[in-house]
Structure 1
Amino acid sequence: MEAIVAGPDEDDLATALEAEGVSVTRVGGIPTRPTLEEAGALEADLFVLTDVDEATAIPIVCDLNDGIRTVVYARRTVPEFVKGQLDLAVDPRLVDADAVADALVS
């Protein structure tokens, strides 16, 4: 499984995914279409966003890859405009990174 994690990832979900055997590409800064393409969004199985301020990345990855699963792992609420394209939203205060990674891989 290949995943892209965009955002600061203060709760170490990328590390937890790697521990589950997932190949993770991290995207720092603003996740633009060219940046996401370079990170492998066309082939990735999973896109994780940890900064809801960059929520426009979700429609971008969905446009690039119809089969990608999208996850927001953040403390703040996801903007309405992306909720229809989001597969899962989890607050790290409620579920730790290891449990989320296990659920995403299972």
Structure 2
Amino acid sequence: MMRAVIAGPDESGLGSALETEGVETTRVDGIASRPALEDAGIHDADLFVLTDVRQATAIAVGKDVNPGLRVVVYDENTIPEFARGQADLIVDPNLLGADAVAEELAG
């Protein structure tokens, strides 16, 4: 079973859409610090979904803990340049809905 850790608010419902596709999801409450990511299971996750680019430093932390992690940024705001190269997929929720993104990620 695929596992995803989601950090940031999820107004677009990507977490629910991933669960519908059979992905086990865990959410980070608050700031996505290393301890919070570890508590959420980032070690065993296949995906790290970031929905708040203001927490972009969490991408480097997630990749440090789990080098094979696929990172998806799902936010309408622009990701900072320092984190852009570490993200595997950057999607604006205004351009592609949560159901379509979840289907692609789970498939």
Bin of the TM-score, shorter chain as denominator length = over 0.9
| Aligned residue in 2 for 1:29 | 30
Structure 1 residue ranges without an equivalent (≥5): none
Runs of 4+ in 1 over 3 A off after TM superposition: none
The alignment covers a number of residue pairs equal to 106
Pairwise CA RMSD: 0.5
> Contact (CA 8 Å) 1:70, 1:86: kept in 2 or not?
yes
- Tell me which amino acid in the other structure corresponds to 1:104: L
What is the Cα deviation at residue 54 of structure 1?
Answer: 0.5
Residue identity in the other structure for 1:57: A
Query: Identity percentage over the alignment?
Result: 59
1:101 aligns with 2:102: yes
Aligned twin of 2:78 = 77
User: 2:36 & 2:29 partners in 1: Cα distance?
Assistant: 9
Contact 1:8 1:28 in 2 (8 A): no
Question: CA shift at 1:87, angstroms?
Answer: 0.1
Structure 2 distance, partners of 1:35, 1:26, is 9
Question: Which amino acid counterpart does residue 102 of structure 1 have in structure 2?
Answer: E
* TM-score, normalisation: structure 2: 0.97
1:58 and 1:69 map into 2 onto residues whose CA distance is 10
Gaps of 5+ in 2: none
2:92 corresponds to? 91
Give the whole-Å Cα distance in 2 for the aligned partners of 1:28 and 1:96.
23
Q: For residues 31 and 2 of structure 1, what CA distance do their matches in structure 2 show?
A: 17
Q: CA deviation at 1:83?
A: 1.1
What is aligned with 1:16?
17
Q: CA deviation at 1:44?
A: 0.3
For residue 26 of structure 1, give the secondary structure of its aligned residue in structure 2: strand
